[in-house]
Structure 1
């Protein structure tokens, strides 16, 4: 069985593309990068997603702008504030 490849951070992605990390944030905001996974305040990209995106660029295809949410939600993670409050541990505020 093969080991899973580590996820790319914005800094890793910037190094891969030979650009400044701020360029990654600008391109992401403009919808010109593949979808990211948000974990807390951090962004991550799956290597397969980046590989597919780069292959599409190399072949002259223009990848479609993101039509899905800005980030993928991880399974079993609350996606709204009400869910966060319902699952809070400790005394009610």
Structure 2
């Protein structure tokens, strides 16, 4: 279960890197520019990465509880922002 959590953190972290590829792939499949906001592309990318993670974990025989996958993905997506805020709050206290 810990490996699943770590893999889901990685999937969440990869959202920002994989989003342009998903956007380009969707554009090439539909052959037109879709009126989708950037936030929806990010959400679609996160869902695709979590689905791929669930498939990989199932193939490897790892337990894949949805709570662990979602929690890890959220930490991966927002972890850098949370650390940045925590560090700025710690610097203000001194």
| TM interval, short-chain normalised | under 0.3
Q: Which has the higher contact order (CA 8 A, sep 6+)?
A: 2
Per the normalisation by structure 1, the TM-score is 0.26
